[in-house]
Amino acid sequence: MDPEDMDVGAYEHQIMKEEDDKSTAEKKTDGEEFRKAGKPSSRIPTFQSSLARKRTTTQTAESQLASKPEGSTRETQMKERGIGSGETLRTKLPVFGDRETALPIPSTRIHSHSTDDLSAACMTDPVLSETPETASVPFHADPSPETSDSESLIEPLHQPSLRVESCDTNSVTELSAEPQDINKEIQSNDKQESDTSIQEHIKENLMEVIQDIGDELEEKLVKEMLSESIIQDVQEQCLALKEAAKLPVEVSPDPVLNQNDVDTPARSTTVHSRQAEQKNNTSSRTRGRSFLLFCFFPSVLLLLGGFGQHIWLYGVPMSISHLMVQLELHWLEGFWLPQEECSSNCRMTLTESIPEGMLYPSGSPHLQNITHTWMNLLSRANSSVSIAAFYLTLRDSDIGLSDPSAVQGKVLLDHLKQLASRGVNLKIAVNAPQTYRSDTDELTGTGAEVREVNLKNITGGIVHTKLWVVDNKHMYVGSANMDWRSLTQVKEVGVSVEDCSCLTQDASRIFGVYWEIGAQKNSTLPPYWPGRFSALSSIKYPLTVKFNGVPARVYLSSSPPQLSTYGRTDDLSAILSVIADAKEFIYVSVMDYFPMSQFTPEIRYWPAIDSALREASCARKVEVNLLVSCWSHSSGAMFIFLQSLSVLNKTPLRCNIHVKVFEVPSTPTQHQIPFARVNHAKYMVTDRVVYIGTSNWSENYFSQTAGVGLVVNQTGSVVEKGQQTVQNQLQKIFQRDWNSDFAQALSDDHAEYCTRRKKAL
């Protein structure tokens, strides 16, 4: 009869009877035959259904059976068969009253934590089925070497009952290793042979053995079986296998790993190594994400906190430029602005206006007329024209008169009106408030943009700049206003630079400051100017170009300091540096020279330029020639200060300083024209440098009023035949005026004489 067709009591009764009949030799022979046949030598069967559970995802099963001393029949059989080979494990149990019994497996139930975990776990084979042909390997760890024989014997037999939800998470299947599963096999053979007394005796002995093992071993087993690490390990390995396969895992109705599924220990080792590698990768990714989160989250909090504090203190920025200004990063903005390559050979033209009726001797040097210069710049305009001016009155209607000399101004106004039809954008920044808007209104009607810049509340001054920027390639700077009188009734000096993009772009940034202020209704200055207005040239970093083929170092200066952007040289500093640089002579032509403040309630003494000229003439023996204007708006106090300078050339000081007064002649009709018939030039030329500006030389023009200066140094440059430096040209113009009949040495009468010409206009 097949042992599997009997119940436990009947089968063991038969075994005991056979053992009494057989001799010791036959038992040995049978043991040898069973061993050779690949079967265990023990004739006592075990509860295979309770021992047939095995984890398929790790190699812990092979290491969970601790080695026994040599000579142990059970260990020898385990080594011969191998736990992972799938052979049936038979073990000899202690004898209770001359009988051998098998220990049943205590029932232990492990509850899953969530349906998500179970749904992931059900996709693998976490537990082997209860088949007689499958070997059993428990989940728990290997027994320690100090464990007793009885503990090591019973420990592998204990299996927890696993409660696993099915994949659809709607039904739950309990795989239990309780005696109920065993009884289902036994009950199928109850009709053939039954021995109730033997079963009861076996159960009693089992209870006594479990009682003797003690609560300590039982708690240890329960803790090991209920260890969350086992459950988590199973779930992680299930997920790892699913990711590795990238295919849905089919769950067989009987989640059993047959003997053929585990071919060799090598395959089990390979599977385990892959799973371990995937687990390590998952763990590494988890640690990486944790590290990134650890670094990223505090940084985000700091940024949010800092930005919140910034908004609380400074308000919400209106633009990127505004934000950069608030963060004091305005100087960075200029780095990404597109810059055109600077032309290697620029063309510079000195220009002037000679009032009608003022004639020089034949053969005297002269410069290009300002009207011609401006018309030439407008004709070359292709995209943009930007003009900064004190005011704009190109027609004689501003004074209610009709003067023939105003025709040049009217022609210029017509050319400005035609720019829009040619696709040229015209921008004009003028001082505010304007008393006469007729011309600007007409230009606005033709498409021009006009902004009035009110510096009264910002610096207390005005916009006195006279600057043109055309296509970011050509420019003009000088003393001439956008006034018809500046073309025919006032003596002016300026300079135009053509095909010189690098210098013109720098001038465009100065204009941009005025344009920015004009766009604000409240006319306030930012705490820092944006980087797009930063200087491209300065006294420390001049531009290196060629003017008419002669190498030159050039830079632009501006005033007042409040409007000087990052890197911009202040206009006053530029003048003082030119004076200090002179070795042989300093020639100055300026309308007003007054070492005090003007247009202020309280008069302030301002000796900056005056002291520099005194030092140059008296200490360094540099020749200083100062040419000032005499007209109806001259201040009587100016001539008193000028006398204090001219007296220095007397014995014993003998300072090399001289002062002359320049007067433009006029007819009675010309005398009726207001703000005309005056030498309005503002320039300085030395043996080394040329300075051409827009400001008169008194305190207010450098501390409150907006102005621009151009400094050109061509000292040491090689001059070819037919070429000449800017310094040489302007020196000749000054000497022409200095030696003309229109210039007279300063006398005591000039203070009274010039002021008598003043009249209400």
In the 3-class helix/strand/coil scheme, how is 650-667 assigned residue by residue? CCCCCCCEEEEEECCCCC
The answer on pLDDT for 78 being more than 50 is: no
pLDDT at 136: 40
Which residues neighbour 55 within 8 Å (Cβ) at sequence distance 6 or greater? 61, 126, 127, 128, 137, 139, 234
Distance CA 733, CA 713 (A): 17
Considering the candidates 7, 125, 471, 483, report the single residue annotated as catalytic.
471
Instruction: Please list the alpha-helical segments (H only) found in 179-319.
Output: 179-187, 196-213, 215-225, 228-245, 265-314
Question: Backbone dihedral region of 599: left (phi > 0), alpha (psi from -120 to 50 degrees) or beta?
Answer: left
Task: Tell me, yes or no, if 466 is annotated catalytic.
Answer: yes
pLDDT above 70 for 427:
yes
pLDDT score at 27: 46
Q: Assign 206 a pLDDT band (cuts: 50, 70, 90).
A: low
pLDDT given at position 726: 97
User: Which pLDDT score is estimated for 755?
Assistant: 79
**Amino acid letter, 535:** A
Tell me if residue 261 is catalytic. Answer: no
Asked whether the beta carbons of 45 and 132 are under 8 A apart, the reply is no
- How far is it, in rounded angstroms, from Cα 420 to Cα 427? 11
Q: Is the pLDDT at 106 greater than 90, yes or no?
A: no
Helices (H), 448-545: 485-488, 501-518
Split at pLDDT 50, 70, 90, the class of 651 is very high
Is the confidence at residue 12, as pLDDT, over 90?
no
Q: If residue 177 lies in a helix (H) or strand (E), which one and from where to where?
A: none
Cβ(134)–Cβ(125) below 8 Å: no
Task: Provide the Cα torsion 502, 504, 507, 512; round to 10°.
Answer: -100
Task: Give the model's pLDDT for residue 619.
Answer: 97
In angstroms, the CA 22 to CA 161 distance is 40
Phi, psi of 119 (to 5 degrees): -65, -30
Q: Which of 610, 680, 737, 750 is catalytic?
A: 680
For residue 137, pLDDT over 80 is answered with no
Q: Is 721 tagged catalytic? A: no
**Between 260 and 746, where is the model more confident?**
746
Where residue 738 falls among pLDDT bands split at 50, 70, 90?
very high
Confidence of residue 338 (pLDDT cuts 50, 70, 90): low
Catalytic residue among 140, 330, 427, 466: 466
Contacts of 304 (CB under 8 A, 6+ apart): none
More confident of the two residues 555 and 284: 555
Rounded Cα distance between 585 and 109, Å, is: 110
Band (pLDDT 50/70/90 cuts) for residue 309 is confident
Average pLDDT over residues 126-134: 39
The better pLDDT of the pair 606, 528 is held by: 606
Return the pLDDT at 341. 64
Residue 506 confidence (pLDDT) above 90: yes
pLDDT of 345 higher than 80 = yes
> Taking Cα atoms as reference points, which of 514, 513, 260 lies closest to residue 389?
514
Name the more confident of 13 and 299. Answer: 299
Please report, for residues 130, 347, 413, 507, 718, the alpha-carbon distance to residue 378 in angstroms, rounded to integers and kept in the order given.
102, 16, 11, 17, 33
Indicate if 142 belongs to the active site: no
* 711 touches 574 (CB < 8 A): yes
Q: Find which of 21-35, 279-293, 554-568, 592-606 is predicted with most confidence, using mean pLDDT.
A: 554-568
* CA separation for the pair 740, 734 (Å, rounded): 10
Q: What is the DSSP letter of 212?
A: H
Choice between 689 and 343, residue whose per-residue pLDDT is larger: 689
- Residue 717's CB is within 10 A of a number of other CB atoms, namely 16
Whether residue 152 has pLDDT greater than 50 = no
Q: What is the pLDDT of residue 224?
A: 55
Confidence band for 213, pLDDT divided at 50, 70 and 90:
low
Residue 292 — pLDDT band, cuts 50, 70, 90? confident
Higher pLDDT, 647 or 206: 647
Residue range 660-699, pLDDT digits in tens: 999 999 999 998 899 999 999 999 999 999 999 999 999 9
Which among 54, 464, 474, 660 is annotated as catalytic?
464
* Mean pLDDT (the chain, rounded): 75
Higher pLDDT, 307 or 754: 754
Percent above pLDDT 90 for the chain: 48
pLDDT at residue 239 in the model: 73
- The winner for highest mean pLDDT among 9-18, 280-289, 326-335, 605-614 is 605-614
Decide: 206 and 101 in contact? Cβ < 8 Å: yes
Residue 454 burial (CB count, 10 A) = 17
Least confident of 156-165, 280-289, 340-349, 649-658: 156-165
Q: Given pLDDT bands bounded at 50, 70 and 90, which one contains residue 44?
A: very low
Q: With pLDDT > 70 as the criterion, what percentage of the chain qualifies?
A: 59
For residue 132, pLDDT over 70 is answered with no
pTM (two decimals): 0.61
Q: What is the pLDDT of residue 337?
A: 54
Q: How far apart are CA 754 and CA 630, in angstroms?
A: 6
**Angle at Cα 239 formed by Cα 234 and Cα 243, nearest 5°?**
150
Give the pairing of strands 347-353 and 384-389.
unpaired
Which of 512-526, 530-544, 639-653 is predicted least confidently? 512-526
What is the mean pLDDT of the segment spanning 701-716?
97
Query: Does residue 170 register a pLDDT over 60?
Result: no
Catalytic: which of 474, 491, 682, 750? 682
How do 585-590 and 623-629 pair as beta strands?
A: parallel
Give the chain's domains with CATH numbers.
3-262 (no CATH), 331-756 (3.30.870.10)
Q: Tell me the C-alpha to C-alpha distance, in Å, between residue 304 and each of 117, 295, 324.
A: 38, 15, 17
Q: What are the tens digits of pLDDT across the range 540-597?
A: 999 999 999 999 999 999 999 999 998 999 999 999 999 999 999 999 999 999 999 9
Are 699 and 705 in contact by the 8 Å Cβ rule? The answer is no
- Cβ-Cβ contacts under 8 Å for 89 (sequence gap 6 or more): 40, 46, 48, 51, 78, 81, 83, 135, 136, 156
Segment 93-111 mean pLDDT: 42
